Structure 1
Amino acid sequence: MKHLNYLFRHNRRKFLKDISLAFGATALGMPLVSMATGPAAGAAEKEQQAGQWGTRKRKLGIALVGLGNYATNQLAPALQETEKCYLAGIVTGTPSKAAAWKRKYNIPDQNIYNYETYDQIADNPDIDIIYVVLPNAMHAEYTVRGAQAGKHMISEKPMATSVADCQRMIEACNKSNVKLSIGYRLHFEPHNLRVMELGQQQVYGPVQRIEAADSFVMSGNPDRWRLDKKLAGGGPLMDLGIYCVQGAIYTMGQTPTAVTAKFGEVTRPDFFDEVEQSIDWQMEFPNGAVADCTTSYNKDQNLLYGKADKGWWRLQPAYSYSGIQGETSAGPMNLSNVNQQARQMDAFAECILENKTTRVPGEMGLRDVRILEAIYEAARTGKRVEIKV
């Protein structure tokens, strides 16, 4: 519970205030589920109790832990389109969210948890998979506890804020004999899959150079968890730059051997008093290719570019939830956009149902966090840092 204890001590974040409200409710003897009412929810309860889930029961049930923007606007809608899994439960520290989600998605009372009752999920046969969508520093704790409850786990990226926590997550899942996957949705997106083919199969010859950039302008209230170093682990590198790291690696099909990096100037200290505003870095690969990467919370960029001996390719935007576009030196890619999150979650459900290995395992998340740590070290020291993975 160390992260929740930290949250109570730092209640200036809205996220943390929500959790505090939830604990207050339970302390007053008012369980979250008692706040959710409505005929649709009651019908869903009766249907479940009667064992009449129909074809949906043949899908695997997913519980989302943390009902922030990504879970609300991406994962939950995607779970309405999935074929092998469905939204079975939620874990939230906000009573009003519990009530709203129950009504909207007909979630039975017994499938609604808060952060105090989370471990009771072990006794729920409706839930097969837990997807942790909490602030980065909380991924490890809730993945470990979910694995100990006997559930298969998905951790949103970055996997954790330290290599040690990544290793702890992997060990917990191995010990409980459950599968662990990381929320790397772009491994299921057609344009990025095409980049993997072009680079790894050397369609235009060996890759010489990669450019990757992912940035947006952080606005609004600076009082948010993504700007809190203890919760986020860092700034845009942890949030957006990890897509650049991923993009370069799956273009090459290789792990970088060394990195150099430099923090950008802080022009908005009211926002960036704890985490970096921007950072540029260069990764070196075993074949001599280099990847020049940049990420920022103060500009708009979204690019993955590769140049080989006999051609080039570009995705722009490259990492968005939709609207990805690609072209090569031979012409447009002409590929469809898909629901990336639905494909990602269906693929993991298939791995469980057919006992296959996920293409985005915990070991991949561990590798990437090790690289992120090397980038930060290079930026702090000004030295070239070798990456040992």
Structure 2
Amino acid sequence: MSYNRRKFIRNAGLIIGASTLPISWSFATSKQKKLGVCLVGLGYYSTDLLAPALQLTEHCQLTGIVTGSPWKIPVWQRRYGIKDSNVYNYDNMHRIADNPEIDVIYIVLPTGLHAKYAIKAANAGKHVWCEKPMARTEMECQSIIDACNKNKVKLSIGYRMQHEPNTQKIISWANSKPFGKIKTLIAEAGYYDSRSDHWKQNKEMGGGAMYDMGVYPLNAARYTTGEEPIAVLKASHTTKRPNIYTEVDETTHFTLEFPSGAVAYGKTSFGQGMNTLQVTCEKGSYGLRPFQSYSGIQGKASDGTLLNQRVDNQQAKQMDDDALAILNDTAVMVPGEEGMRDIRIVEAIYEAAESKKMVKL
């Protein structure tokens, strides 16, 4: 169900009022169809965050699940009223193509499986939402983009922070430069993971701190400067638990150079809690702490400006924004190309860490 903007506003009787509403809500009405969303993978993020958030959305609803754990099915059906006909496993999820109650397939699997199942979703003719990081390699990212383009479906990557209002203010400052030219920024994201046998410690599954948490400071460096880095100046991996982190990085440091001369210092870890974005400019500074938590994003600028806008639920806002892009046939906020740019740089960071040399982008 897609709408030409002018036609939709006319039919909804919102010609006068639409211009006074926030952009993300301008075309919405209570009569507009809700998109049916199918979650693929019922781990922590789906169970504790996305499914509850879908109950808070205005433009989408949970209508289907794909799982390889049969024991989870009755629990989800009781909790969310999911029909038997809307329950799938990984072998038969292609049959979603024949299900009109599912409009969007949301891939919430380990990173190493994203490409395989995002392509299956696109080939089923459904719009694709894919959790970050988009995939393990730039080539895998491109394969997802190609499948979505071939099937004429929209693709959005789950960078919830780009939907968050305080982050959006910082993104706008990349253009307006209220404190002058950016000189340096520090972006750090991590937590202590006590697990010793998890897919995030498995290279083949797309584990590693740089993939999982590292895309937060990396993406922040890009949206804060509004530029694409021209080089990974240096990068390194460290671990305090070499018996656990045998295949992937526990902690990664990286330094990026941008065309304007700005330098970003990034850090990410499974061995240490951190959650900071700090920007130093010619005429002042600003930042967020925390900058990528599920709630409570806040910060301030050197002139006293507070960055403390609240959003009830980040995941709900993200999914509503992405649903409206489908309903109104407009561009998604975070397309596949955005996710692929990060993965290209992630690969370069690993290359720089291994070679101990600068890697040009």
Q: TM-score, normalised by structure 2?
A: 0.89
DSSP-derived class of the 1:261 partner: strand
In 2, Cα distance between equivalents of 1:146 and 1:336: 33
So what's the TM-score if we normalise by structure 1?
A: 0.83
Alignment size in residue pairs? 331
2:244 maps to what in 1? 271
Within 5 Å, give how 1:287-302 maps onto structure 2: 287-302=260-275
Aligned counterparts of 1:338 and 1:211: Cα–Cα separation in 2: 27
- Runs (4+) of structure 1 exceeding 3 A deviation are none
* Cα distance change, pair 287–384 in 1 and its aligned pair in 2 (3 A): same
CA distance in 1, matches of 2:98, 2:307: 48
Q: State the Cα deviation string for residues 105-128 of structure 1 (Å, max 9, x = none).
A: 001111111112111111000000
| 1:71-220 to 2 correspondences below 5 Å | 71-219=46-194
SS of the residue aligned with 1:58?
A: coil
Equivalent pair of 2:213/2:268 in contact (CA under 8 Å): yes
Following superposition, the deviation at residue 337 of structure 1 comes to: 3.6
Q: 2:350 aligns with which of 370, 376, 389?
A: 376
Structure number with the bigger relative contact order (C-alpha 8 A, sep ≥ 6) is 2
Structure 1: segments with no counterpart, 5+ residues? 1-54
Instruction: Please give the per-residue CA displacement for 1:175-203, whole angstroms capped at 9, x wherever unaligned.
Output: 00001110010111011111112233101
Structure 2: stretches of 5+ with no match in the other structure: 1-29
**1:247 and 2:193 are equivalent in the alignment:** no
Relative to its length, the structure with more helix (as a share) is 1
1:5 maps to: none
- CA–CA separation in structure 1 for the residues paired with 2:169 and 2:236: 32
- Report the equivalent of 1:311: 284
Aligned-residue sequence identity (percent) comes to: 46
For the residue of structure 1 that corresponds to 2:274, the secondary structure is strand
Equivalent-residue separation in structure 2 for 1:266 and 1:205 (angstroms): 38
Matches within 5 A, 1:213-362: 213-219=188-194, 221-232=195-206, 234-331=207-304, 332-362=306-336
Alignment partners' CA distance in 2, 1:291 and 1:127: 41
Cα distance in 2, alignment partners of residues 238 and 251 from structure 1: 20
Relative distance call for 1:56 and 1:157 in structure 2 (3 A) is farther
Helix, strand or coil: the match of 1:231?
coil
CA distance in 2, matches of 1:267, 1:85: 43
